[in-house]
Amino acid sequence: MDKIPSTDNHIHVDPINGEGPLEVALKFHRSGGTSMIIPNKPTWTVSPQCSFKEAMELVVGYVDEINQETEVQAFAVVGAHPAELSRRVDAGMELAQAEELMRGALETAQNMVLEGQAVGIGEIGRPHYPVSEEEMETHNRLMVYAMELAREADCPVQLHTETSSEEQFKEFAEMARKARLKEEKVIKHFSGPLVLPEENHGLTPSLIASGDVMREALKKGKSFLMETDYLDDKTRPGAVMGPRTVPRRTRKLINAGLLTEEDAYQIHVERPGKLYNIEIDF
Ligand SMILES: [Zn+2]
């Protein structure tokens, strides 16, 4: 049972507010984890002056550290979180100027994918908190733009959005069609068990690796990714699942007969490999 792959599709590392890349990767590895897809944290978690590019370069550095110092394979996903726009608008910036800044950040992210430093654009999306109608329209435009950039770079996007049901998945699938990005290249981060094609409209759900979500999902199918959304923030210890969750959950589900080793290979090696165009050694 030792050779079971486990990929956490959305896990953060943060040496400023948390334990940092090596500590997190070692915990993950000791629980049987094999690969980590790591999106950059927002600029304000680094410093008030931190630029988008700097925040993205930091995560690329953390990924390098993990790849050099541990047996975990790590990959960076870079982007501008929707709250980056809200924060600037709340601080008094004109919406149009904030949108321009966000577009520039997304272009920086695309460049890093084209240069091979990152494997996807994210997390991008729209707020899970209420905003003005104008601001929401801006977020929606930026989502389509990020999808266009992803199509050009042949990479996926990772979406951060409000809690989404079939209705929102349908809307995001329409955005993907508008951007001519394949629906499956739109990865819904922090997804509930929307595994059936008629529920997710062809998007790839990245499921929260809780027991409840997984059991619900497995009644319907196995086309999904798994994640914790671990924040690596010591001030918010219970905010999300710990870094050991995906490998532990995967083993539990196999032991319970709900997942086979072949299923685990599909979820943790085959599907992410194909989506991100990466070679996951296993
Ligand atoms: Zn996140």
Q: SS3 letters for 160-229?
A: ECCCCCHHHHHHHHHHHHHHCCCHHHEEEEEECCCCCHHHHCCCEEEEECCHHHHHHHHCCCCCCEEECC
In the sheet with 157-160, reading across from the earlier edge strand, the strands are 7-8, 35-39, 73-78, 120-125, 157-160, 186-191, 204-208, 225-227
The model's pTM is: 0.97
Angle value at C-alpha 246, between 204 and 143, nearest 5 degrees: 30
Tokens of residue 55, six digits:
């925040």
Count up the domains in the chain and report the number.
Answer: 1
- Whole-number Å distance, alpha carbon 271 to ligand 1 midpoint, is 20
Please report whether residue 153 resides in a domain: yes
Looking at residue 1, its pLDDT comes to 44
- Whole-number Å distance, alpha carbon 81 to ligand 1 midpoint, is 9
Place of tokens 């944290």: 41
Backbone angles phi and psi of 51, in degrees to 5: -90, 165
Please report whether residue 27 resides in a domain: yes
CATH number at residue 121: 3.20.20.140
Please report whether residue 2 resides in a domain: no
Please report whether residue 21 resides in a domain: yes
Alpha carbons 85 and 81: distance in angstroms, whole number: 8
Looking at residue 236, its pLDDT comes to 81
Please report whether residue 265 resides in a domain: yes
- Whole-number Å distance, alpha carbon 151 to ligand 1 midpoint, is 22
Please report whether residue 1 resides in a domain: no
Looking at residue 68, its pLDDT comes to 98
- Whole-number Å distance, alpha carbon 209 to ligand 1 midpoint, is 14
- Whole-number Å distance, alpha carbon 228 to ligand 1 midpoint, is 9
Alpha carbons 44 and 156: distance in angstroms, whole number: 25
Please report whether residue 43 resides in a domain: yes
Looking at residue 240, its pLDDT comes to 73
Looking at residue 55, its pLDDT comes to 98
Backbone angles phi and psi of 78, in degrees to 5: -125, 145
- Say if residues 123 and 84 touch (Cβ distance below 8 Å): no
Residue 132 structural domain: 7-276
- Whole-number Å distance, alpha carbon 196 to ligand 1 midpoint, is 24
- Whole-number Å distance, alpha carbon 84 to ligand 1 midpoint, is 13
- Whole-number Å distance, alpha carbon 10 to ligand 1 midpoint, is 6
Question: Given CA atoms 258, 263, 265, 266 in this order, what sign does their dihedral have?
Answer: negative
Please report whether residue 44 resides in a domain: yes
For the chain, list residues with pLDDT below 70. Answer: 1-2, 238-239
Angle value at C-alpha 213, between 37 and 258, nearest 5 degrees: 90
Tokens of residue 144, six digits:
């389509």
